[in-house]
């Protein structure tokens, strides 16, 4: 049985404007790697098979790897830690303002 699919991302070394992505599975004496993706024209009325099916653990690793090389969400309100910090700050400010 294969383990979870692992994910690795890196900025392209030559130009740096593209991102390289690898999917792989480690085995005791080898590693299985995904082949380069091939795009295929498909009629619009046919639902294509997914390019990959991954576990939530692999999806989290993918997010972490992309974050590590500087890819950030284009929209959103920051991380959960940042949001919690802002909430505590606002609560402190409310206490100060409404104390008088």
Residue-wise pLDDT for 62-72, tens only, equals: 999 999 999 98
pLDDT for position 4: 85
- What are the CB-based long-range contacts (under 8 Å, 24+) for 85-89? none
Confidence of residue 78 (pLDDT cuts 50, 70, 90): low
Res 24 pLDDT > 60: yes
The pTM of this model reads 0.65
Confidence of residue 81 (pLDDT cuts 50, 70, 90): low
């Amino acid at each position: 049985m294969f383990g979870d699919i692992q994910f690795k991302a890196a900025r392209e070394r030559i130009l740096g404007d593209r991102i390289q992505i690898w999917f792989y599975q480690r085995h005791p004496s080898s590693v299985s790697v995904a082949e380069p993706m091939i795009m295929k024209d498909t009629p619009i009325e046919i639902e294509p098979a997914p390019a990959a099916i991954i576990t939530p653990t692999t999806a989290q690793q993918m997010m972490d790897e992309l974050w590590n090389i500087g890819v950030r969400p284009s929209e959103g309100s920051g991380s959960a830690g940042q949001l919690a910090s802002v909430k505590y700050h606002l609560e402190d400010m409310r206490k100060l303002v409404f104390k008088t």
